[in-house]
Homo-oligomer: A and B are copies of this chain.
């Protein structure tokens, strides 16, 4: 086999820029039920077909009154109103009030047209069966106008908005039960390698179980993608080629392994044959040999084969790709500050991803080697050591990106 060391590595920033310029958010749409919308992206401007609330309602429990009846009210000059009805939420007012009258009203209930204020129950007293008021009430007090929440014709949710519980509530308020959203990106995950065994099979000598398919598929789902898992393809160029061509039916193709020098260079040859390589080799550790290209405008990302390199590079490169494909905004990572439990020596010129466990405010390095999945499985998150830093001191405060 030929072994050509990777010579020119690009920076992470360059890699992100190349990826960003090459990814087009998917435009396919589908209707989704309101109860399944969380985290999905609206593909339509949603306009309110009605006023919400559709009627004037009381925003407090109390008495609907004519405010002018109270303008001269004071402790010395209390006014007494006759209560002529009770309106519960959901009721339609049956009686209108005249000056000197009021109706008892519950929060959320429709206010009679003849009333212009609601005085809250705490400010009244019942005196000989009449409602006593001892201070003036301004017109409009404790009344929510029709359309205060949403006016007919107003935009409720904009195209591109991500559905939160609150936005879903706004849809419910206008009886919108089904919404046009962008489809989830379909992600072809193609495991390759003679040394990789399918879960559930028995290991042959020299083989290890397929880890990357499961870590990648999980991360894809967590970021709004839909993983399609291919059978494991042996290291034979025709078989990999035909799997990749089949993968073009989907929105992106993911390979892991086979991008290092010496690994027969099968994947890169196939990408060069049908499309173009956009980068090969990134100044990142672990995970240098990451390879990225396009075949017929479909992105193809070849992650390193080693499980921890594969997964850390998935956090760094794959997550933004899947989110952009899916019309989702960039992730807002959860971070926490911690003290480093021991000195870490890094290498200038490589952006290092270092997995850590959190304990009592300390970030404890747990990195064993990039081949060991426990380097990341037993970590709570990772720290980043930039190109130009070669040493982090014990007790230094670091930013931990949580998994």
Contacts and interface: CB of A to CB of B under 8 A. Distances in A.
Contacts of A213: 172
Contact of A195 (B89, B195, B212, B235): B89
A317 interface: no
Given A107-B305, A402-B332, A215 B121 contact: no
Given A165-B403, A403-B164, A107 B307 contact: no
A307 B200 CA distance: 49
Given A195-B89, A207-B90, A369 B144 contact: yes
A253 interface: no
Contact of A369 (B59, B122, B195): B59
A205 interface: yes
A221 B214 CA distance: 23
B221 A38 contact: yes
A323 to B, nearest CB: 15
Contacts of A91: 194, 206
B371 A59 contact: yes
Given A174-B209, A372-B149, A218 B168 contact: yes
A206 B92 contact: yes
A107 B372 contact: no
Given A144-B371, A206-B90, A371-B59, A5 B122 contact: yes
Contact of A262 (B61, B200, B368): B61
A167 B377 contact: yes
Interface stretch (A15-23, A49-57, A270-278): A49-57
Interface in A184-220: 193-196, 199-200, 203-219
A38 to B, nearest CB: 5
A245 interface: no
A175 B374 contact: no
- From A90, A221, A263, A372, name the one whose CB has the most chain B CB atoms within 10 angstroms: A90
Contacts of A53: 208, 371
A218 B34 CA distance: 9
The oligomer's copy count stands at 2
A164 B373 CA distance: 12
Interface in A296-326: 305-307, 311, 314
A356 interface: no
A101 to B, nearest CB: 18
Contacts of A377: 156-157, 164, 166-167, 169-170
Contacts of A199: 34, 172, 175, 177
A194 B209 CA distance: 58
A228 B290 CA distance: 45
A371 B52 CA distance: 10
Interface string A32-74: 0011011100000000000011110101010000000000000
Given A164-B403, A169-B377, A332-B334, A121 B38 contact: no
A29 interface: no
Contact of A215 (B109, B122, B172, B174): B172
A379 B166 contact: yes
A35 B262 contact: no
A166 B311 contact: yes
Contacts of A257: 108
Given A144-B369, A195-B108, A403-B164, A261 B217 contact: no
Given A90-B195, A218-B35, A149 B106 contact: no
The 9 closest A-B pairs by CB, nearest first: A90-B194, A61-B262, A90-B195, A170-B377, A89-B195, A166-B376, A149-B372, A169-B215, A172-B214
Given A148-B369, A168-B218, 7 more contacts: A35-B217, A92-B206, A106-B263, A144-B371, A165-B219, A166-B377, A177-B200
